[in-house]
Structure 1
Amino acid sequence: MLALTPAQAAGISPNEALLDYGNLPAASQFKATLVGRAAADVALLDPRVPIIVLGARLNPDCSAPAVLTDRLATARVLAAVHPANPVIVTGGHTQAGCPSEATHMRDALAATGVAPGRISVKEGSFSTVGNALETAHYAAPAGNGPRVGVIVTSPSHVPRAVDTYAATDSAALWLAVASQVD
């Protein structure tokens, strides 16, 4: 009898786990290529390395815009493939009358099977800089290597996110996994 992989157990097809990063702008290719995704997957073999999911402003009706829904889908795949790693969701109250981006993200991930106990909510930020200031210290050693953090964001945002996190904590290695939607 064959054992199920974590992704299969979570109901994720093999094709869904193999995300297509070929549609990235040329400027971000060096930061979010398949090699970058492979590096993130290797780093996430250490259960101390966090998956940091960057938020996006909710719609006026408090629903998630397509860009955020897609980031969450990407985070769900990473969380399923790496079930021991902490997941950190970021984003403040950016839409009047709505929950924070981070709270919405936690609830959405939990609704798709990510254990709520492994999700940390960081809702004090309103920008990429704020996200980095609030979460960069969560980078953790990957095996015997440097401290590492894996950032999930949209393709066009990868260069800015990685640069911002590196400026906040230059001693850590910041790897990005891009979603599909900008």
Structure 2
Amino acid sequence: MLAFASFCAADEPATEIPPKTDTGISVADFQYGGVWKPKGAMLSGTLLPPPALDAITLTLTDESYEVTVTGEDHSDKGIYMLDETVSPMRMAIKSTSGPNQGRIILAIYEIKGKDAMRVCYDLSGSSFPKEFKAPKGSGLYLAGYRRQKPESSDNQRSGPKQDRTKVIDEE
């Protein structure tokens, strides 16, 4: 993964073995890329209502992100860097365009299986959160994300699926 830049100096000792998720998946094998939707979130002690959660979409590639909110005419885009050598793992997010342009947001995260992760952001960018909590007045944003499954072309076709096992077996 990406190394942390000088603005994200680690103050905790590194571990020698990449951590594993709660389902035994190695962090080194985890794929961050994809479309993610928050399934629950709290901002400074206040739970976000389901309509707000439904409006948010996070799209990740190996190095960049985009956050879109349904009904808004702009998105927030930028890059992120990971530090998987500390516990909890850390993320530094730098917005390059949108409402947070030029800001750096520091976060901690954990992988919760191959299609789920939890992230706690310090929206002030002053320090990495210490735990996965967002108490009242903290300025912390805690979100649980689920990866969205891509629509396959088979799901978009009408009619029954062709049984391809017979074709393979006969060849």
Larger radius of gyration: 2
What is the TM-score of this pair, normalised by structure 1?
Answer: 0.26
TM-score normalised by L of structure 2: 0.27
Which one has more relative contact order, counting CA pairs under 8 Å at least 6 apart? 1
- Between Structure 1 and Structure 2, the one with more helix by share is 1
Which structure: greater strand fraction?
A: 2
